[in-house]
């Protein structure tokens, strides 16, 4: 009897080890992602087949509800449909399961989509403490904190963060200068009424992206403040033409949300 009990214990012990072995779990989860995301959800457009998209992910979650990526994929299309509260429920679950993978994305969503800027700052600051000032959606966490401070009218804080970000690119990653980063650095100076300094920075952005209508628009205001009205008038016509032609902030998500200080030109 003792031998039988020992054999059963060994058998179930081995089975338990196989079930919790990290490599086994990883392979099983990758198979579920391939089956229910790659070969199911992504066969549908969430724009007009949201129920089919969500059904695929829900079926995958029935097999393994601990796969954070499935929760994130459930959340993502709701943000693009401006159903923020629904999406955040699922994204919170993804962050709970895997904060290193999803918390920065949640902070980005709070900044650009949901526009809960204080919450976004807290999320990004927590990410920096745990994972360092890494990148999400092409920019550092501090870049987005700077955007949040702009939206909270804390312009000096924003100016410092944008200065540090652009200085770091110039020193360590030349060739990767970004017109959006320079644009917001210029905006922070504009808000602080540093008209001449703002123009210098806007010109740097325009050197990288000559048709950036948003930079031209705020440069126009700076020129007017400096009583350079003829130059401002000419530049305003350029900005308007560029804006109507679609030359604006070129971040990927501008198709879903208006970015801070982005100018929408009437046709």
Encode burial over 26-58: b for 16+ CB neighbours within 10 A, e otherwise.
eeebeebbeebbeebbeebebeeeeeebbebbe
Between these two residues, 168 and 15, which has the higher pLDDT value? 168
pLDDT of residue 170: 78
- The pTM assigned to this predicted structure is 0.89
Q: Is pLDDT at 58 greater than 50 in this prediction?
A: yes
Condensed to tens digits (0 to 9), the pLDDT of residues 212-235 reads 999 999 999 999 999 999 999 999
What is the share, in percent, of the chain residues with pLDDT greater than 90?
Answer: 86
pLDDT of residue 169: 85
At the topology level, CATH places domain 155-267 in: 1.25.40
Angstrom distances, CA of residue 22 to CA of 14, 27, 99? 14, 9, 18
Q: Is pLDDT at 3 greater than 60 in this prediction?
A: no
Condensed to tens digits (0 to 9), the pLDDT of residues 155-200 reads 999 999 999 999 988 777 666 679 999 999 999 999 999 999 999 9
pLDDT of residue 18: 44
Q: Is pLDDT at 10 greater than 60 in this prediction?
A: no
Condensed to tens digits (0 to 9), the pLDDT of residues 16-50 reads 444 568 888 899 999 999 999 999 999 999 999 99
Condensed to tens digits (0 to 9), the pLDDT of residues 116-126 reads 999 999 999 99
Instruction: Name 177's Cβ contacts closer than 8 Å, sequence gap at least 6.
Output: 166, 169, 170, 204, 208
Q: Is there a contact between 248 and 262 (Cβ–Cβ < 8 Å)? A: yes
Between these two residues, 20 and 129, which has the higher pLDDT value? 129
If pLDDT is split at 50, 70 and 90, which confidence band does 7 have?
very low
What gap in Å lies between CA 246 and CA 260, rounded to an integer? 17
What gap in Å lies between CA 258 and CA 254, rounded to an integer? 6
Mean pLDDT of the chain: 92
Q: Is pLDDT at 264 greater than 60 in this prediction?
A: yes
pLDDT of residue 4: 44
Q: Is pLDDT at 8 greater than 50 in this prediction?
A: no
| Overall average pLDDT of the 140-147 stretch | 97
């Amino acid at each position: 009897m003792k031998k039988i009990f020992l054999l059963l214990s060994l058998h179930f012990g081995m089975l338990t080890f196989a079930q919790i072995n990290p490599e086994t779990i990883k392979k099983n989860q990758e198979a579920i992602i391939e089956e229910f995301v790659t070969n199911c959800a992504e066969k549908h457009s969430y724009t007009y087949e949201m129920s089919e998209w969500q059904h695929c992910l829900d079926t995958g979650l029935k097999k393994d509800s601990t796969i954070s990526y499935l929760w994130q994929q459930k959340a993502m299309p709701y943000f693009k449909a401006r159903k923020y509260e629904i999406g955040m429920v699922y994204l919170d679950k993804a962050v709970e399961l895997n904060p290193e993978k999803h918390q920065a994305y949640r902070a980005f969503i709070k900044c650009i989509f949901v526009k809960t800027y204080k919450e976004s700052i807290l999320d990004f600051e927590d990410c920096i403490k745990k994972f360092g000032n890494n990148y999400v959606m092409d920019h550092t966490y501090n870049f987005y904190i700077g955007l949040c401070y702009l939206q909270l009218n804390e312009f000096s804080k924003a100016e410092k963060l944008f200065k540090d970000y652009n200085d770091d690119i110039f020193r360590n990653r030349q060739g990767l200068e970004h017109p959006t980063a320079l644009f917001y650095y210029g905006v922070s100076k504009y808000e602080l009424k540093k008209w001449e300094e703002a123009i210098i920075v806007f010109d740097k952005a325009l050197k990288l992206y000559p048709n950036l209508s948003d930079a031209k628009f705020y440069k126009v205001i700076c020129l007017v403040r400096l009583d350079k009205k003829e130059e401002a008038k000419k530049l305003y016509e350029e900005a308007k033409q560029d804006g109507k032609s679609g030359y604006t902030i070129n971040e990927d998500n501008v198709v879903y949300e208006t970015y801070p200080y982005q100018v929408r030109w009437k046709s």
